[in-house]
Structure 1
Amino acid sequence: MRMLISILAGSLFGTGLLISGMTDTTKVLGWLDVFGNWDPTLAFVMGGAIIPMLFAWRLTTNRQPLTGGHFPPKSTPEMNRRLILGSTLFGMGWGLAGLCPGPALASLSYGGIGGVIFLIAMIAGMVAAPSVGAQLDRSANPA
């Protein structure tokens, strides 16, 4: 059941990205070009995701998933060096490539070698992130 729900959710997500044009790097870069030829369509895609999620969080309060287990608790927002550095690096990569992880995976089937290189670089960053974060923590709190 869990696998079926995951496949359905992933397919829905990928199809939405494809239909909305968010797998097109020029569309994403147009969103980031605030002082040039700005393309606001990504705001509609974000709204299309955020609004239903707002209701989903409300509906899942004190409930269990169909597949068992529990829903993760809401995270507590914490501004720290890791968040600032991580979001800055993510934004730089997003701006340079015109892709973030979801659309990058969705575009693998037609993105050619550039999509594969992006995926490899993204996985390398994910592997390196815990040690970089630990180093940031040690430098922020010297013993």
Structure 2
Amino acid sequence: MEIKQLYREIVNEHNLNPEHRGVMENPSLKLRGVNPSCGDDITLQLRINDEGIIEDAMFDGSGCAISQASVDMMADQIIGRNKEEALKLASTFMGMIRGDVTDEKEIEELDEAAALQDVSHMPARVKCAVLGWKTMQEILEHPEKSEN
């Protein structure tokens, strides 16, 4: 199977069967992220324990396949990590999308989210891919913005 086809299937799977879609009861942090240029609109919810570990991540909302798949993949990656680790992953993801991060070892840390690497060649879709990641960065760096 061609690698691009495999990546399309990964993105499709996360879009059609997102594991982390839903509304979380009593999240520690909650923030809405909107991409007005294409209508992507998500609400990210995180549950963080007393040790600072992200115990759960969920999202609700609507958007294109890329935005929905990307935020679902992101949730997979940040559950079980602390704030600093989650922010480092976000930085790596943003760098990959911008084309600044090309080191395969760094990109491999993103696991399935690396499937979105080709989005960097589609400028109109970049905002879609980064919406969930930017929302996560915003809420972790500025918890006072939490909507709950």
Same-fold status (TM-score > 0.5): no
TM bracket, shorter-chain basis: under 0.3
Using the size of structure 2 for normalisation, the TM-score is 0.23
Name the structure where helix makes up a greater proportion of residues. 1
Give the number of the structure whose residues are more often strand, by fraction.
Answer: 2
TM-score, scaled relative to structure 1: 0.24
- Highest CA radius of gyration, 1 or 2? 1
